[in-house]
Amino acid sequence: MQLTALDWIVVALYFLFNLAIGWYYKARAGKSVSEFFLSGRDVPWWLAGTSMVATTFAADTPLAVTGMVAKYGIAGNWLWWNFVASGMMTVFFYARLWRRSGVMTDMEFCEIRYSGKPAAALRQFRALYLAIPINCIVLGWVNLAMVKILMLVLGIGKAEALIVVMGLIAITSYISMLSGLWGVLVTDVFQFIVKMGMVIVLAVSAVNAVGGMDALLEKVAAIDKARGIASGAAGSALSFVPDLNSAWMPMITFLVYISLNWWATWYPGAEPGGGGYVAQRMLCAKDERHSLLATLWFNIAHYAIRPWPWILTGLASLVLYPNLADPETGYVKVMIDHLPPSLRGLMVAAFAAAYMSTIATQLNWGASYLVNDVYHRFYRPDASDRSLVRVSQLATVALSIVSAVVTFYMDSIAGAWKLLIVTGAGTGGVLLLRWYWWRVNAWSEIAAMITAFITSLYLQTVSHLDSDKPVDFAWIMILTVGITTAVWLAVTLMTRPESMDVLVSFYRRTRPSMGWGPVAAMAPEVRPTREFFTNLLDWICGCVMIYGVLFGTGKLLLKEYALGAGLLALGLAGGAVIYWHLSRRGWDTVVD
């Protein structure tokens, strides 16, 4: 793709604006470690929520969705649509609890919920594990996707693309090191506007390149016919529901996704009950109301608003480039061949924005674990805020360097990434219940982590189940979750509960609404409102809202107006119930 001098000026202005934001927040970020990692807990909901959305909008995300659509049709997105239930559960059952906890990171939670050496060991191990290997694999994955994009867009080799990516890492690391979370949040909003605007423009250009929406629908139907699939049948590229007799999504796999995967599996950015950078955004919110609204806005934008420009471009790429060896590259090819020349600079900036928003968050979040949960907690508990900020900046740079090294070896780590995803199976139950069952202790989490890893590893190495094969994946999930859940429940009941002092302190601090009977009796002054069933109804309505708006919008775009309007109305009705419940209880009322 040929870029003009004007395009390069646009790209340069984009980077200068991001640097200006970093410099603007430099003084504020340097005041304290709380300002550096949590923006002083003074972030409004729309800023925290938009930052979550921007972080999940990585450079590889449009390519991944394009690949799913090209291989499996629109229904291929169920690979991530199944997490809607988990996201909405975080909104109504956990967002306010996280904000009440007052911790700096979700790893610090270990030592307010549990006590003694097991709690300290759990905190340190999980902080190191997530901050370095897991975080750097995520960073390396995103770096590699950006390399692929640059090779196609700029027509350069892998070595040159890697050099460019290293430069982007340096700039992003500098901004994150300079401005802390404030800079990350504000640049996220700017970057989200740029990249969302450009993916919409590209979707319009892609549909026009095919000949308009009517032509797109006709040509996709012709592709279905050539594959022996009747129009509107399951398995069609335009179907929203997967063909449960297909090789890629047989019934057992689909059932695992919608009934098990969303709550039982730990996955970066979709942790059951919230965790990682999602927890960081909830913790930095002004109060409980802002924490809930931020997470609600994130889930609405993430699942209901953002996917359709990617999906339309994916369908167009299926028509325009039907025989690509790597279907994910169809997204970039549409951009190269059909985006108006005057917008190419903005599109390059949009890809840079998608890349930088994810990298900046991962760096700041990973550094928070290393500094707050390892260095400050175990090695320098007497360190001043100023010295902790300096260490935070050094940790940010160190993670940048490690992630750059990981990128060079990403081909060999791809298998490890797949392994890590599946080994998270089974831990979700304890992460959810630790808030709502007083009997859970540190050994419960430790047992869940060890059992999930050993079981999954055994199934994939000794039993030779392959997580790339849908049926094998389903059985890995079923067996790992079943065995892990049985083990951690047994360990919980066979070990002593946490001391009553620790439990009462946690109960007074977070005020969970149920599952704490014996502890609640020790703190009669705490009178939590009994809103469990209302929250349950809001959770159901939230899922109806997301899926209704998502599928309703899709049907309207595909010109099925009556069905689309009905689904959209159903989604809006779910949203209205949520609004009524929250308004009735009082938006500023402290409830759980």
The answer to whether residue 419 is domain-embedded is yes
Q: Provide the greatest CA pair distance for the chain.
A: 71
pLDDT band at 413 (very low <50, low <70, confident <90, very high): very low
How much is the pLDDT for 146? 86
pLDDT of residue 557: 95
pLDDT exceeds cutoff 50 at 119: yes
Q: Do both 187 and 238 map to the same domain?
A: yes
Residue of higher predicted confidence among 138 and 412: 138
pLDDT at 387 over 80: yes
Q: 483 and 564 share a domain?
A: no
* Side-chain-facing half-sphere of 568: CA atoms under 13 Å: 13
Nearest Cα residue to 480 out of 270, 163, 264, 279: 264
Same domain, 555 and 485: no
Tell me: the pLDDT tens digits for 137-150? 888 878 888 888 88
Using the 8-state DSSP alphabet, how is residue 329 labeled? Answer: G
- Judge if pTM exceeds 0.85: yes
Instruction: Give yes or no for a contact between 199 and 350, defined as CB atoms under 8 angstroms apart.
Output: yes
Domain boundary among the residues 482, 497, 512 is at 497
Q: Is residue 514 part of a domain?
A: no
Q: Same domain for 372 and 455?
A: no
For the ranges 160-169, 210-219, 361-370, the maximum mean pLDDT occurs at 210-219
pLDDT of 252-306, one tens digit each? 999 999 999 899 987 766 788 998 889 999 999 999 999 999 999 999 999 999 9
**End-to-end Cα, the chain, rounded Å:** 53
Same domain, residue pair 487 and 553: no
- Residue ending a domain, choose from 469, 497, 525: 497
- 5 belongs to a structural domain: yes
pLDDT of residue 400: 87
Report the C-alpha gap between 186 and 182 in whole angstroms: 6
Domain check: are 394 and 472 in the same one?
Answer: no
529 occurs within a structural domain: no
- Compute, in degrees rounded to 10, the torsion defined by CA atoms 518, 522, 527, 529: -20
Q: Verify that 480 and 348 share a domain, yes or no.
A: no
Residue 522 lies in a domain: no
Is residue 475 in some structural domain? yes
Average the pLDDT over 426-439 and give the result. 94
Beta bridge partner(s), residue 558: none
In terms of DSSP H, where are the helices of 462-495?
Answer: 470-494
Give SS3 for 326. coil
At residue 425, the 3 state secondary structure works out as: strand
Q: Which of 34-43, 433-442, 549-558 has the lowest mean pLDDT?
A: 34-43
Residue 589 — pLDDT band, cuts 50, 70, 90? very low
Phi and psi dihedrals of 116, rounded to 5? 80, -170
> Is there a single domain that holds both residue 403 and residue 433?
no
pLDDT(478) > 90:
yes
Please indicate, yes or no, whether residues 457 and 576 belong to a single structural domain of this protein.
no
pLDDT of residue 404: 81
Residue 575 covered by a domain: yes
Residue 412, pLDDT score: 43
Instruction: Provide the domain limits for residue 224.
Output: 1-408
| Domain match, 42 and 129 both | yes
Q: What is the CATH number of the domain that holds 290?
A: 1.20.1730.10
pLDDT at 415 over 70: no
pLDDT band at 321 (very low <50, low <70, confident <90, very high): very high
Boundary residue ending a domain (408, 423, 444) = 408
Number of structural domains the chain divides into: 3
Q: What is the pLDDT of residue 421?
A: 60
For residues 558 and 447, membership in a common domain is answered with no
Question: Is residue 179 included in any domain, yes or no?
Answer: yes
pLDDT in tens, 24-47: 888 887 788 888 888 889 999 999
Same domain, 420 and 377: no
